[in-house]
Each structure stands twice: as C-alpha cells, then as structure tokens.
Amino acid sequence: MDDWDRVAAMIVLGIETSCDETAAAIVRDDREILANVVYSQLDEHRAFGGVVPEIAARAHLDILDGVVREVLAQAELAPTDLHGIAATGGPGLIGGVIVGTMTAKALAAAAEIPYIAVNHLEAHALTARLTDDVAFPYLLLLVSGGHCQLLSVEGVGHYTMLGATVDDAVGEAFDKCAKMMGLGFPGGPAIEAAATKGDARRFDFPRPMKGRLGCDFSFSGLKTAIRQAILKSDGESLSDTDAADIAASFQGAVAETIADRCANAIQQFSEDHPDGNTLVVAGGVAANTVLREKLASLCALTGFRFIAPPHALCTDNGAMIAWAGIERLRIGLTDDMDFAPRPRWPLEELRA
C-alpha cells in the first residue's frame, strides 16, 4: 500500500455522466465504497441500436439529482460531510459531461468543498488501485466502446502511451458486429452470451496486427470479415447456430489479437520499468470472460501479475470517479469553477 500521509478518512462523491450510464458513488480513502448507484439508459437507446447523445444528455438531466440524493442517503451523509466532489470532465458525449460537471460544481460550491474534474480514462486507469491496491508503475490495457490503448501507468497524471487502435475501438467493433448479427445492443454482453453456444473454430477470422512489431491495434478489417461471413451464411436471416459460431469465432479472434499486442507491450514495459510486473485490464470490454482468461494465461507465461476489476467496476460507474478524485485530492490537485468540460481529453495532457 502507498505510504500516504493519513490525518483523517477522506470521503469523496463521484459523478459519472460521460455516456449512457447516470452514476454516482461515495468512496472513502481506505478503499471502502460507501454507496454506489448506476442507472443504465439501455432501454432509452436500445431501439436505436446505439447511444443517441441528445437522449443521453436529457436522461442525465432528468435522473442525476435523484441518483446523487440516493447515494447520500445510502451513505447517511450530507454534502458538508464530504471532502470533495469529483465528476467526469471528459472525454465523453459533451451534453452528458456538461450535466455532471455543472451538478458537481453546484454541490461543491454550496458545501464549500473542493471540486475535482476527473479524466474518464484516468478513472478507469486507477480503478485497480481501488480494488486491488496496485502499486505504480503498472501496464494498463484500456478497452471500451470508445478506446483501445496500452499505457504505462507511472503515477497519478503520469501516463505513457505504448499503443492504440489505428481505426476502431474494440468495444465499437463488438457493438457493430452484434448489430450486424441481429443480437441487439449493447454488443459486448450479447456476443459473449451467443458465443457460449458457438464453435469458435468454425470461422477463421483474421487477427489484425498479430505478429507485427509495436503495440497498436486494428479492428476494421475484422469487422469486414464478420460482415462477409454473415452475407455468406445469411440469406434472409442468420440462423441461431450461425450467429453463435460467428460470435464465438469473433470473440476468439479479438482475444487472441489483444493478447498478441499485450505480449509486445509487456516486453517494452519490462525494459522501461524493471520494477513493474502487473498487467491491468480496465474499461467495459474488460468484463469479457474469454479476454480475461486469455490475458491471465499470457501473464502466467510472462511472470506478470494479472488484475481485472470486478465486472461492475469495469463498466462506467461513479466509484471509479470518486476514487480518481481521492487520488488527485491527496496530492493537492483540484479544479477551479471555470473548468470547461471536454469532449476529447487525451491522458497524456494530464502530465502538463
């Protein structure tokens, strides 16, 4: 555990509104989650096959106040009992980010406590320190609907990019392939469920970038291969067997591709940080069981420790925002009320 200078328990409220989850949580700096509420907007977006930004922003506006009241009630705390209010300041769908930011600023100003603008990606990056007390430095695989990156995590606000997708994020590939197969939204859970009944060896889908130097990813070609397989198997509608086999084969190709890229990253990270031996996977796609198993096997071969947060803390949630707020508040990083929400906010900019 880090040698923090403890004078009293620090308690922070975290608010997350970057996409289609309206979430809030209260976390204490001893890593206890006092309250955690996530309202999913899946029903609002399912008919459209994806997240509609305007609908998401309106839902956050309608729901967030009630979610915040609920976590305060669960924790039996008032805003004045808190040491800070943290909220996702970006990256994300700007309408939702604005809703969360303005709510957090208002609460912080009224309670006369610090406001912390949290980078959504940093919150994912630091979740393993909340759940597993992981020490710096560590290697991070961040995989979600909008991001696919390999990073060296050297400290709060200190990240070095080792590789990223050159086209689509892996979560986006899951969503689009699930939509093509008629499996519904969100695509990750739908494909994983269908794959349990499928034969992962039936379709020999490409493993983009496998065997190449570096740590970058690519998934657009794999999506094209899925589309071609659907057209060949399809007719008017894809049979349950074909859908299950395509899903299993796609999931296997994704896991194998990511493991190959991570193997390169482990080698590079080990050269740069001989004192680091942990691979952390975070983000919504980190909930995928096949991917976890593949990465756990890779770490067993390379002598690395493998950490994946609980499923509920892989997808977007307020606890990770609150924890990132605690990490930043501990080292004196707070934000002024003129902070402007950001639709794009690369992790590398935090160092500056």
pLDDT by residue (tens digit) across 122-178? 999 999 999 999 999 999 999 988 889 999 999 999 999 999 999 999 999 999 999
- Note whether 262 and 158 are same-domain residues: yes
Within a domain: 57: yes
pLDDT of residue 5: 44
The pLDDT of residue 3 is 43
User: What is the rounded average pLDDT of the residues 85-94?
Assistant: 97
Q: Is 252 within the bounds of a domain? A: yes
**Number of compact structural domains in the chain:** 2
Question: Are 17 and 88 in contact, with CB atoms under 8 Å apart?
Answer: yes
d(C-alpha 146, C-alpha 169), whole Å: 5
pLDDT for 280 equals 98
Cβ atoms of 87 and 102 within 8 Å: the answer is no
Percentage helix, strand, coil, to 5, in the chain?
50, 20, 35
Q: What mean pLDDT value characterizes the chain? A: 94
Angle (CA) 283 246 223, round 5°: 60
Q: Could you give the 3-state DSSP secondary structure of residue 76?
A: coil
CATH number at residue 227: 3.30.420.40
Domain identity same for 111 and 156? no
Q: Can you tell me which residue has the tokens 């610090």? A: 114
pLDDT at 4 over 50: no
94, 110: one domain: yes
Looking at residue 237, its pLDDT comes to: 74
Question: Is residue 4 assigned to a domain?
Answer: no
Per-residue pLDDT tens digits for 94-103: 999 999 999 9
Same domain, residue pair 186 and 59: no
Which pairing describes strands 148-155 and 138-143: parallel, antiparallel, or unpaired? antiparallel
**pTM for this prediction:** 0.94
Same domain assignment for residues 278 and 214: yes
Indicate the burial class of 2 (C-beta count within 10 angstroms; 0-12, 13-18, 19 or more).
Answer: exposed
- Between CA 218 and CA 37 the distance in angstroms is 34
Q: Name 192's Cβ contacts closer than 8 Å, sequence gap at least 6.
A: 247, 251, 288, 289, 290
Same domain, 149 and 263: yes
Residue range 50-78: mean pLDDT, rounded: 94
Q: Tell me if 290 is assigned to some domain.
A: yes
Whether pLDDT at 278 is above 60:
yes
DSSP state of 7: S
Q: 231: helix, coil or strand?
A: helix
Residues 87 and 201 in one domain: no
Q: What percent of the chain has pLDDT over 90?
A: 87
For 61, 103, 212, 219, 280, the CA distances from 215, given in Å and listed in that order, are: 39, 38, 8, 13, 15
Contact 26, 12 (CB under 8 A): yes
Pairing of strands 278-282, 305-307: parallel
For residue 208, being part of any structural domain is answered with: yes
Residue 77's contacts (CB-CB under 8 Å, 6 or more residues apart) are 11, 26, 34
Residues 77 and 146 in one domain: no
Could you list the residue range(s) of the whole structural domain that residue 280 is in?
Answer: 136-309
What average pLDDT score do residues 30-59 get?
87
Strand order in the sheet with 115-119: 33-40, 21-28, 11-16, 84-90, 115-119
Examine the domain organization and report whether 26 and 121 are in the same domain.
yes
Looking at the predicted structure, is the pLDDT value of residue 324 above 60? yes
**Residue 114: pLDDT over 50:** yes
Interior CA angle at 312 toward 130 and 284, to 5°? 95
User: What are the tokens at 106?
Assistant: 């208002």
Name the helix (H) or strand (E) containing 153.
strand 148-155
Task: Tell whether 293 and 324 lie within a shared domain.
Answer: no
Same domain, residue pair 208 and 266: yes
Taken as a whole, the chain contains a residue count of 352
Question: 66 and 146 share a domain?
Answer: no
- Is the residue at 2 inside a domain? no
Please give the structure tokens belonging to residue 144.
Answer: 């979600």
Q: Please give the torsion angle defined by the CA atoms of residues 51, 40, 34 and 3, in that order, rounded to the nearest 10 degrees.
A: -30
Residue 235 banded pLDDT, cuts 50, 70, 90 = low
Q: Does some domain include residue 5? A: no
Residue 225 lies in a domain: yes
